[in-house]
Structure 1
Amino acid sequence: MQNFSTQKPGFSWLLKMAWRDGKASKRKLFLFMASIVLGIAAVVSIQSFGENLQDNIALQSKALMGADFTIDMNHPPNERVTEIMDSLGIDAQEISFASMAAFPNNTGTKFVSVRGIQGNYPFYGKLETQPQSAAEKYQDQNAALVDATVMLQLNLSVGDSIKIGEITLPILGELKEAPGSSSLFGAIAPPVIIPFEYIEKSGLIQTGSRIDYEYYFKADKITNLTVLEEKIGPQLDKEEADLDTHLSTSERLGKRYKNFGKFLNLVAFIALLLGCVGIASAINIYIKEKLTSVAVLKCLGASRKQSFLIYLIQVAFIGLLSGIIGSILGVILQYAFPYILEGLLPIEIALSISLRVILAGIVLGILMSVLFALYPLVGTLYVSPLQVLRVQENSNSKSRKALIGISMLIVLFLFLFSFWLLKDWKYSLSFIGGVLVTFAILAGIAQLFINAIRKFFPDSWSFVSRQSLRNLFRPQNQTLILILAIGIGTFLISTLYFTKDLLLAQATLDNTNTSANMILLDVQSNQTKDIAETIKNQDLPVLEAIPIVTMRVQNLNGKSVNEIREDSTSTINRWILSHEFRVTYRDSLIASESIEGGEWIPDVKNTATTEAIPISVSTNFAEDAQVEVGDLVTFNVQGVLMKTKIASTRLVDWGRMQTNFSIVFPNGVLEQAPQFHVMTTQVPDAKKSAEIQQILVKKYPNVSILDLRQVLGVIEGLLNKISWIINFMAFFSILTGIIVLLGAVRTSKYQRIKESVLLRTIGAKSNQILKIAALEYIYLGVLGSLSGILLSLISSLLLAWLAFETTFIPSWIPFGVLFPGITVLVLIIGLANSRSVIKNPPLQVLRRESV
């Protein structure tokens, strides 16, 4: 008798079966793969660019600061600080302040940041000027370097003059880049560099002037900057000075851009999730078409595990290939980021390829593909050989348990992946919760829509209209997945527009005659009357003349600030202890304030020196200083100690463009204290603004003028730039949604073709079939995009109400552009997939699609 081998097929047989079956369905599998390629590309590009950015910041941190470490303060150094700096050896120093500058050659004026530098600064990096020699010669030639943008705006040339206070200097060169200059503040107050000795000669260092003193140091090779900061930092803190090393600057900048990168990563992650939803849907249709094949395999002796592994291997291979292609695309894409982020980055980026990120992208492709394909794949375990002859539904309890287990596994993986991106478990849980809620709401809307159609089906409608509605809940319909894909993509982009509008609304000026749009700073007490007359002579109103007194916190409830600093258990915010507060006095609240607790005291007529003066503090001051109504606070008012008692706390709307204060005294206390004033007016247009600025700068060179419309222009430009970047990333989500849409339509195409062929066979015309398909896709496009926009609108309204406490006027772009645009896009894609049914005879279509 002949002996037959009973050895079971090994892994090589599974690979061959997976390969053969996959080759026969390569077109469908290609669309599955495309669903997640863009998501992986987005994640890889951001991760890779983020690593390069962190590395470049670390390498260029010295050039960003221009020194190894600095000591800075907003007052002249006292004896102790001078002693510490002398022991370290000062290599260069700088005094800086914001001021108005006049340009006699063209009668223009500009609010600038004046930097007076002494010494061979910067030690690292360089002052980039045009001509380059100007950076080396401006101190010897007693000249100025003026920001290149200002030179262009005011049509200035090298050789023209700049007037700052009482001094006039020739312009030796255009300043293109300078270490230590903030790009955001530089857009509002562009830098101007002059020799150090001219700061005093300008006459602008007066009471109330915001002056910054900075000292630059170059460390030797043996100096440990971390140890130096730990040793010297606390000593300087006590003297209201601050030590900053290039290492801490690097860390601070790294965190700032890392947080921005985290947000972009989440946007990319949404695109990846969309692709995974597409994978789950497409594999679901694919496996349903393969159930008969699975039953045949089991009839031939294949086990449940073998039939399951054949298709699992296919999906894992799709994930591997998707990860490789997505990672390559992501590496290429990162080279576009320096151009996309131009103007927002503090340094120039030298890009390199990160093998770690590429490997992570490949692993991510495999894991996401397998995890999201397990839902449909688990069904192959419960296919009976009898399904060769008949179709039967499986409701095995083991299948339900498996699905619950898979769901928990997917949620766990998503949490771990988001935790890897955010490095904070609370944010990760919030993100996962938000994603699940959004998906659940959109899925609920789709299900409600389907149920409503079934319950209230319009039997009186025409055949075409009725058939298009029936397609939405026929077997193997794609209503749920398409609404999810369309809705999430639309939700993302519309949320970005609404949020941008919400942020801009917080900084919008009212166009009324009572709203200030120009602020005059550092007005001395003896100048207020004359400046008010000058403004009125130009037919402009003087809206406010606010007195300001500078002071620091000396004691909180009897405990000195030095004691609080030394107390390691204290949770009082450190800015309270070192901040120089600018306070005012008045007898009434203003529009941006409301009493939160206690009683408002308008004036103090008879205050004995031993009594505590009643004051009002903002809620954020009370929270950070950990004080409440009735607590005592002692202030140091330029050497004079003043004992106060918190009589009330105020809720202040800091987003409103007006002069708000953390601390307000009643009338009758500070009138005789050294003070300066802030005055406000309202100018009708840019021309009038330029005229009044020229007059005031000429007569009162110490006064700085802030045109709020220019500030808002800078803020709006920055928000638009960030919005464009976020929209660029959201494009991945919507493009992924389109690919998912394509895949979903293609995977159910065979079912649609059989229905359409049947309709043609019983006499339906091509234009009727086309109308049925068109109406179905219009329903899907309208419902998906409208659901996403409305969900986004609700979330933005809640954000405005709960977080920003402001009114919200939504943008028209999501309704006027996204809604019709996405609907038309869905319609085009759907009809493009129906062309083969319309153009060819039914028998030819069936033969071709069944191959």
Structure 2
Amino acid sequence: MAWRDSRRSRGRLLLFLSAIVLGIAALVAINGFGDNLARSIDEQARELVGADLVLSAPQPFTAPLSPALGRRVRARSEEVAFASLVQFPRGEGVRLAQVRALTGGFPYYGDWLVEPREAVAAFRRAGSEQRLALVDDALLLQFNARVGDSIKVGRLRFLIAGRVTKTPGQSGLNAALAPTVFIPRSWLAATGLQQRGSRLQYRQYFQLSAGTPVDRLLRPLQSRLDEAGIDADTVSDRQRQTGRAFGDLTRFLSLVAFVALLLGCVGVASAVNLYVRDKIAAVAVLRCLGASGRQALLIYLLQTAVMGLLGAALGAALGTGLQWLLPRLLADFLPVGIRITVSWPAVLQGLLSGLLVAVLFALLPLLAIRRVSPLRTLRGPVEEEGRRAPDPLWLGVYGLIGLLLLGFAYWQTREIKLALGFVGGLLLAFGALAGLAAALRYLVRRHLPTGGSFVLRQGLANLYRPNNQTITLTVAVGLGVLLLAVLFLLQGLLLGRVELAGGGRQPNLVLFDIQPGQRAGVQALLREQRLPVLQQVPVVTMRLQAINHRPASFYQQDSSRGVPRWAFRREYRVTYRNTLISSEKLAAGRPPTLEADGRPRISLEEGFFRRLKLQLGDTLTFNVQGLPLETIVSGTRTVDWTRVQTNFIVLFPAGVLEPAPQFYVLMSRVPDNAALGAVQRALVQRFPNVSAIDLALILRTVDDILDRIAVVIRFMAFFSMGTGLLVLASAVVVSRYQRARESVLLRTLGAARRQVLLITLVEYAVLGWLAALTGLLLAGVAGWALAYWVFEVPFRPDPLPLLALALTTTLLTVIIGLLNSRAVLTRPPLEVLRSEAV
């Protein structure tokens, strides 16, 4: 019976169930991409590191671990990495780069892509005989340099022997942020950049025998590594870190795709509601012939389930094809190459998700079929049944939908709090959109003007008449606008964290790694260039050794003690002064002081203080260049990290760290790029170890990164917006029969086609504008919450792009509504009247 009954309605069934196609496609594409990425990370785990084991420390290794590793060591390489200004003498270009002074055969795994290919072998043979350098492609492109030119690092010039297009474990994004220059380790001392107090990172790369259990081998050495301040990075560590990071990305995108699927489900519920109204007469006839309400329900539920499965299958096929597009969009962020294959778990998940959501959301209107009376056959088609008590089964269906949403969110996030937050935010957005639409419908119905234009009154009346789509279209289109607007506001907030105003005396140039003996000379250089010294701050590096006299091992043995492991692994850069600066405010306690007992009272940034679950009066022991220093936490500060100043997590009092090895940071302001280039060239000539950060360049780089990220998220938001518009189109087409009757009545009463067309235009213009404004309103609330609670920056959105988004959405809504309603205008009134008589 379901098959026979669907013969006259298959077109409409396929149309409104096609609303879930885009949602399933997005879901399968993202989950399939995540599966392929996880597999590729597993397959190429060694290429992420380039070695089996990497040891890194901020100071030279006093005792190499090669004897402890024994005969398992097949090869070892050493590297010293640091940031420094490099210069291209031919074009006088200067840029801050990551210099890696390397010796040995690293990388041992993965493709080190260098043009020409023989440049790698020449670089490794160079030793102390030739000054060769391998330079990142991004750096060469920026200054229009090529292989054969020279590059100046410190006091030495190196011949550019090769163009590096890929380094194992380094993505294109890393190269854009910190382009790398490789030089032979044997020439490092001659560059003049390796000085006492310089910020250098020492690394050792090990290639071990095949099958070596690296993690088990390091376990007895861990305490020795911790005492020496050495970090160990293994293939399994990098594999877990990378997999976790990109797993979070794919889970986030999956939630966005699930929103698109839910929009499709809203369309399914609305379209099935209209479909059921069209089938009430047929159901009444079936009831007269002896069919039960349960049988009638199952007939139309079977139709919906089959069409939902077909829609899910089509979406899964489309999503499988989209997997080949996502690696192109994310190429700059991926540290590994991805081999795309069909992910059958993702396809199966898409099919099950599509079937479940289609059936559950279709059940809401389908339950009314059970209560259709056989007497309906004797009633007129426009008569409405009296009000009935709500069906108790609706509560069960709503409960199943809630469990489905919560279960899917938990499956993606693996955290019940995040899952509850996602479902709660989603229900809040749905409720706000539906509530505002219902409020509009109520206000128009109660306060519709009796005078004025006939077209305007009829168009507004369509918002509350039977078969209206006010709530459905407002929710579907408004949620798509919400996602796109939040994306735009989020990008603006991230850029707003770096304030580089054009006017005033805000710093836009940072000089660091200035040794104490160079401070006066650098200040004189700035005065020669007629540049101000806006701020100069001493910086001392140290590591956290113990909390309340308990070492790192005490907290690492039990994670429930609340102190994260990174607190002991990171290197802290601190300064010393007895007063707070303009970007700091005292939150609790008092500023840093040096008491008579000799133990310094320090001040911590408030967020760091909370994350370590500390209390005022707790004792922190720091390792300062190998010497322990015990301190007492006397206060906390709130720090405005958006201010272009030297802000610190830990602040010491004066009179303690002055004898420690340290460097200075100076901040200045340059009026233009010409002045910036002049001061950078002078620094390279006179103080080659001093590095200069161009904050304007950093802002442009951040902007470029956010643009790339925005492309990916816009790609996912497209599915939500596209699904909303598809729901709009399907709802209009499904309701075409009812609209045809209304159009005939109007034209029979004397309305012209132009008037009917304008009535339709008014209705969809109001719906599109309402959906867009509601989405923008919710996006504004979300943007303000992000600005206030997360980023702690002023909320100053740019209204013009948001207004353009609202106008575009309204225009698309009107166009789709008119295109799908054109058949109503072309049908002669007599044709509809005859079908009514029949």
Q: TM-score range by the shorter chain?
A: over 0.9
Q: Is the 8 A contact 1:789 1:814 kept in 2?
A: no
> Equivalent residue of 2:332, what SS?
coil
Which of 328, 331, 350 is the matching residue for 1:361? 350
Which of 659, 678, 693 is the matching residue for 2:646? 659
Shift of the 743–836 alpha-carbon distance from structure 1 to 2, 3 Å rule, reads same
Which of 694, 711, 717 is the matching residue for 2:704? 717
How much does 1:534 deviate? 1.1
Which of 85, 95, 106 is the matching residue for 1:100? 85
Alignment of 1:561-710 (within 5 A): 561=552, 570-601=561-592, 610-710=597-697
Q: Is the 8 A contact 1:505 1:808 kept in 2?
A: no
The code of the aligned residue for 2:18 comes to A
User: Which residue pairs with 1:834 in the alignment?
Assistant: 821
Is 1:466–2:453 an aligned residue pair? no
Whole-Å Cα distance in 2 between the matches of residues 87 and 199 of structure 1? Answer: 30
How much does 1:509 deviate? 1.6
String of CA shifts for 1:5-36, please: whole Å, max 9, x gaps: xxxxxxxxxxxx11121120122112112110
Alignment of 1:140-155 (within 5 A): 140-141=125-126, 142=130, 143-155=132-144
Is 1:816–2:803 an aligned residue pair? yes
Whole-Å Cα distance in 2 between the matches of residues 565 and 42 of structure 1? Answer: 40
Whole-Å Cα distance in 1 between the matches of residues 535 and 617 of structure 2? Answer: 31
How much does 1:109 deviate? 1.6
Whole-Å Cα distance in 2 between the matches of residues 217 and 88 of structure 1? Answer: 10
User: Which residue pairs with 2:279 in the alignment?
Assistant: 290
User: Which residue pairs with 2:501 in the alignment?
Assistant: 510
Shift of the 552–331 alpha-carbon distance from structure 1 to 2, 3 Å rule, reads closer
Q: Which runs of 5+ in 1 are unaligned?
A: 1-16
Whole-Å Cα distance in 1 between the matches of residues 611 and 757 of structure 2? Answer: 66
> Equivalent residue of 1:697, what SS?
helix
Q: Is the 8 A contact 1:519 1:681 kept in 2?
A: yes
User: Which residue pairs with 2:96 in the alignment?
Assistant: 111
String of CA shifts for 1:653-707, please: whole Å, max 9, x gaps: 2343321112222233333433221111111222221121111111110101111
Deviation larger for 52-61 or 644-653: 644-653
Alignment of 1:161-560 (within 5 A): 161-181=150-170, 183-390=172-379, 391-393=383-385, 395-397=387-389, 400-560=391-551
Q: Is the 8 A contact 2:497 2:641 kept in 1?
A: no
Is 1:749–2:740 an aligned residue pair? no
> Equivalent residue of 2:503, what SS?
coil
Q: Is the 8 A contact 2:155 2:685 kept in 1?
A: no
Deviation larger for 841-850 or 573-582: 841-850
Deviation larger for 643-652 or 836-845: 836-845
The code of the aligned residue for 1:501 comes to G
The code of the aligned residue for 1:733 comes to S
Deviation larger for 485-494 or 628-637: 628-637
Which of 734, 741, 746 is the matching residue for 2:721? 734
> Equivalent residue of 1:647, what SS?
strand
Whole-Å Cα distance in 1 between the matches of residues 608 and 826 of structure 2? Answer: 73
> Equivalent residue of 2:323, what SS?
helix
TM-score of the superposition, structure 1-length normalised? 0.94
> Equivalent residue of 2:534, what SS?
strand
The code of the aligned residue for 2:91 comes to N
String of CA shifts for 1:538-588, please: whole Å, max 9, x gaps: 121111111112233344333344555567764323333343322212242
How much does 1:228 deviate? 2.8
User: Which residue pairs with 2:117 in the alignment?
Assistant: 132
User: Which residue pairs with 2:59 in the alignment?
Assistant: 75
String of CA shifts for 1:67-123, please: whole Å, max 9, x gaps: 122222221123375653567535222221111112223322221111122211111
Shift of the 697–476 alpha-carbon distance from structure 1 to 2, 3 Å rule, reads same
Q: Is the 8 A contact 1:43 1:330 kept in 2?
A: yes
User: Which residue pairs with 2:28 in the alignment?
Assistant: 44
Alignment of 1:53-64 (within 5 A): 53-64=37-48
Whole-Å Cα distance in 1 between the matches of residues 60 and 374 of structure 2? Answer: 89
String of CA shifts for 1:502-531, please: whole Å, max 9, x gaps: 111112322234211111111011111121
Deviation larger for 66-75 or 373-382: 66-75
Whole-Å Cα distance in 2 between the matches of residues 394 and 230 of structure 1? Answer: 76
Shift of the 327–555 alpha-carbon distance from structure 1 to 2, 3 Å rule, reads closer
Whole-Å Cα distance in 2 between the matches of residues 652 and 103 of structure 1? Answer: 38
> Equivalent residue of 1:105, what SS?
coil
> Equivalent residue of 2:462, what SS?
helix
Q: Is the 8 A contact 2:591 2:635 kept in 1?
A: yes
Whole-Å Cα distance in 2 between the matches of residues 19 and 321 of structure 1? Answer: 15
User: Which residue pairs with 1:5 in the alignment?
Assistant: none
Q: Is the 8 A contact 1:593 1:650 kept in 2?
A: yes
User: Which residue pairs with 1:14 in the alignment?
Assistant: none
Q: Which runs of 5+ in 2 are unaligned?
A: none
How much does 1:648 deviate? 1.7
- RMSD, aligned α-carbons: 2.1
How much does 1:832 deviate? 1.6
Shift of the 185–801 alpha-carbon distance from structure 1 to 2, 3 Å rule, reads same
How much does 1:793 deviate? 0.6
Whole-Å Cα distance in 1 between the matches of residues 376 and 553 of structure 2? Answer: 82
Shift of the 29–568 alpha-carbon distance from structure 1 to 2, 3 Å rule, reads closer
> Equivalent residue of 2:693, what SS?
strand
> Equivalent residue of 1:140, what SS?
helix
String of CA shifts for 1:437-470, please: whole Å, max 9, x gaps: 1111111101111111122221122222211111
Whole-Å Cα distance in 2 between the matches of residues 566 and 360 of structure 1? Answer: 38
Shift of the 568–234 alpha-carbon distance from structure 1 to 2, 3 Å rule, reads farther
Q: Is the 8 A contact 1:229 1:245 kept in 2?
A: no
String of CA shifts for 1:18-72, please: whole Å, max 9, x gaps: 1121120122112112110110001001111111111111111111211122222
Deviation larger for 443-452 or 225-234: 225-234
How much does 1:377 deviate? 1.0
* Percent identity of equivalent pairs: 41
How much does 1:429 deviate? 1.3
Q: Is the 8 A contact 1:58 1:247 kept in 2?
A: no
Whole-Å Cα distance in 1 between the matches of residues 461 and 554 of structure 2? Answer: 76
Deviation larger for 139-148 or 719-728: 139-148
Whole-Å Cα distance in 2 between the matches of residues 478 and 800 of structure 1? Answer: 35
Deviation larger for 453-462 or 443-452: 453-462
Shift of the 299–449 alpha-carbon distance from structure 1 to 2, 3 Å rule, reads same
The code of the aligned residue for 1:615 comes to I
